Homo-oligomer: A and B are copies of this chain.
Amino acid sequence: MCTESLAGVHPRVADAIQYALRSPGKRVRPLLLLAAYQAAGGTGDATRLSCAAELIHAYSLVHDDLPCMDDDDMRRGRATVHRVFGSRTAILAGVLMIPLAVEVVRASTSSMHLPESRARAIARALLRAAGSGGMIGGQLNDLLGEGLSLDLGELERIHAAKTGELIAACVAMGALAADAGPEDVHAFESYGRRLGLAFQIMDDVLDVTATTSQLGKTSGRDQALGKSTYPALLGVDGARRRAQSLVEEGLATLRERGLLTTKLAEVANFMVSRTS
């Protein structure tokens, strides 16, 4: 479904992109986008739009795993893209997913008959989250921070950029597509930022507590790479508590504005109770 826009892409790169997209992931970002869309009163079909978010996320995983980045062999229980297709194809496939995501936003917002200004706001939210203030900036700070002792504030800024901004953008994109007003969009974004940070904290926790087969990716990587993590700074229980309280804050923000749905609460609670 995300891959209909691959017509014309070189077969080898298209295979690599499909491999990256079709891996058995949790699909947290598209699920959140859809849940926010519905919570904000959207009645159309935002499924295709949600693929744009997954494309950007999947691109980041493909590049994260590269030999010159985290150098990982496993992702979502399978060999990483560069292990199957080689680093060249993995880099090109990853890069290509950025303009593809923009194209998916354009096509989906057009088929949803959204006004031009909404379509642009949605594309900007996604690209901003992917850009220097978001994922790529956070990823770089994360890599540069390897082997350094970061304090909680520094770690939180890195995680907020690396994971929080894209999750916040997904929720905002859903709200924007449902024609939510600026204050509601802002509330959804706050919820998304807190959720994103909680999600990353739980990633750190699971890296310590879960096995490689539970995670579907190599466990214990953070320690091996000398990364600062929440469990190292707060202990495993302290990190869990921090994640839980972030989720509660996020849910409260939505509840206050009457935007909290069962689905949004479910996704939030899944994110802190997950075991993989």
Contact = CB atoms under 8 A, between A and B. Distances in A.
A36 to B, nearest CB: 22
A88 B127 contact: no
A66 to B, nearest CB: 7
A83 to B, nearest CB: 13
A132 B9 contact: yes
Q: Determine the main DSSP class of A at the interface with B.
A: helix
B96 A95 contact: no
A1 interface: no
A133 interface: yes
B96 A136 contact: yes
Counted per complex, copies of this chain come to: 2
Given A102-B102, A131-B100, A95 B95 contact: yes
Contact size range, A: 35 or more
A92 B92 CA distance: 13
Contacts of A153: none
Contact of A103 (B92, B94, B106, B127): B127
A63 B140 CA distance: 17
B91 A66 contact: yes
Nearest to A119: B120
